[in-house]
Structure 1
Amino acid sequence: MQASLTASRAAIYPSLAGKRVLVTGGGSGIGEALTEAFVRQGARVAFVDIADEASRSLVERLAEGTDHAPLYRHCDLTNIDQLRSVISDIVEQFGGVDVLVNNAANDDRHAIADVTPEYWDNRIAVNLRHLFFAAQAVAPSMKQAGGGVILNFGSISWHLALPDIVLYQTAKAGIEGMTRAMARDLGEHGIRVNTIVPGGIKTPRQDMLWHDDSETARILANQCLKERVMPADVAALTLFLASDDARMCTGHDYFVDAGWR
């Protein structure tokens, strides 16, 4: 009820209508909410994922009652050649990309003693590397258009030093530094770059794997606001930062975590 109520009251940003938006990991969880939110703004949305069944079901659901049904492309983001090829196809089909939402990540747990060089490389590939190369791939079309928006997804985890995800937190900390550097280098072309930092978001995956009753109680106890943060809340912040209303916001980190400390 909370998520649908939030969506029903969501702001409409006229500047997002017709924008060409690319969302990574857009088929489920937070990504699903992002894809849906941009479609509801009248944007032309493409999203990539590896979860084919969920992604195709999302396309079918969102295609009803909209002028721009979302475009889904299967893409393994750890394969940079494949990522570049898919983005090139999307740019060609859409005529460019105005907004890139680098959302995809995976927070699998691990102990320091168990990390191998191969696992290190895999986790960095899953959680950090593809964000840079996706931004690199869309930047030329943004420069040609005279501007654009890149939104990189960080995580509150490293700000809190949560246990058993050292590589995930290393990648997410790096994203904030990358955002600052990209904002400086791309700003002269009118491209804004920010980091969105979600808190403990209530998604089916998190509830299934990590957020049992005791963890949920701990999250709520440490939040200033005593309600769970929903994917729609993350989408609401994302829409604002993607819109022209945030035209002078760049190079910074924006939290949506209910004040989790």
Structure 2
Amino acid sequence: MEILLANAVQLATDPSIVQSLVALVALVAMEIVLGIDNIVFIAIVTSRLPAEKQEIARKLGLLLALGMRIVLLLTIKLIMQLDETIFTLTSLGIPLEWLSAHMNEVSVKDLILLAGGLFLIRQSVHEMHETMDHDESEEAAAKKSRVTTFGAALVQIAMMDIIFSLDSVITAIGMVDADQVWVMILAIVIAVGVMMIFANPVSRFVENTPTVKILALSFLILIGVMLVAEGIGSHFDKNYVYFAMAFALAVEILNIRVRSKEKAPHKSTIA
């Protein structure tokens, strides 16, 4: 017993173990925060599937995200090379005076972020247009809202998983030493497990509350714009974006509570 206690104390006071645990907690928190936009996108895409397929699509979508992140982590050298310049805008004839400090050099990562951002903006605007279109009949609307096939939904989720995974993996590599891949993988597994628990409640909340769905789509458009901005070399603190999202969601939740309280007396009066 004393030997076990001594070993436990030694492990608890080992600087490398403590450092790894601190890094693990920080990475789990970061992966969950960076995974919020992924959950929202999955909720929007799977809402167009038949009800009996939505839950399995969400879980498969998150498993795709998990697999994508692990594969990217196991190819760290390749990921780091994505930041290397493949061409410059001045080589295409664009005057250097037109460009800011970071816009001239273009890497594979920039092209991926740019394409992903444009795709996300297009999908979100299209979904918002359909959500706000009240001219069609209920039967046509119901039919239209279920046009996405299971395979098509997974393809869309997989495409955006690449974008979201790239962002979070590069951030993780910057936070932890490259030889501590196991810490990154464990953090991602824990974070995806947490997201799986909340994916269904979040998806139902978004789908059953039209104003929240519009807000979620607005978030995705904002994230798409942010990805496009990063793709063209305009870097800024994402914490501002996440703060704006959290603040807007808090205000909308308060609005929902106010509306529900206003409806309650009205119903009791009618009764």
Larger Rg: 2
Shared fold, TM over 0.5 = no
Q: Which has the higher helix share?
A: 2
- TM class, shorter-length: under 0.3
